[in-house]
Amino acid sequence: MIGDAAASLGVVIAGIIIALTGAYIADPIVSIIFAALVLWSSWGILTESIHVLLEATPAGLDLAKVEQAIRGVAGVLDTHDIHVWTVSSGLIAGSCHIVVADQRVSNSQQIHQNVAHMLEHDFKISHSTIQVEVEDCGGHEHMAHSEHEHQHEHAH
């Protein structure tokens, strides 16, 4: 409302200048000044919107600390493919893979829950997708992926 009032005041002042002096340049000058004020006042919203659309890491969040904290959860041997992004104002999402040694499902679920709780409590990542991998799965996945690429290359 203050911005609208300022714009109206600018229009009135430009009208008075034009009426008294005939200087029609007053109108575009007031328009440019008002446009600059609108851009300046909306800069924060504009940058936040671009940040959300690009799915960038939230400002002030240190991914190295997130990675270190995940590795610090009991039962987690390693982590990789960590991505954290802003979905909307105040909603941070994250995804990662965690490597665990124990192959029992109940233990893996508890480790998963502990990581999710830590991410929300310590880093405000309220929506997390965590993929649990057993310690020696990574090598098999990489080999299968490489074999698939090799077969795909020979098919062409």
Domain ranges of the chain: 2-53, 63-155
Strands (E), the chain: 76-88, 91-100, 125-134
pLDDT of 30 higher than 60: yes
Q: Note the pLDDT of residue 53.
A: 85
- Token pair for 94: 């994250």
Q: Are 113 and 130 a contacting pair, CB within 8 Å? A: no
Question: Residue 102's pLDDT is what?
Answer: 65
Give dist(CA 54, CA 57) in Å, integer. Answer: 9
Least-confidence region, from 67-71, 99-103, 147-151: 147-151
Residues 112-141, mean pLDDT to the nearest whole number: 85
Choosing among 3.30.70.1350, 3.20.20.70, 3.30.870.10, 3.90.850.10, the CATH entry for 63-155 is: 3.30.70.1350
List the structure tokens of 111.
Answer: 């480790």
C-alpha torsion sign, points 95, 99, 102, 104: positive
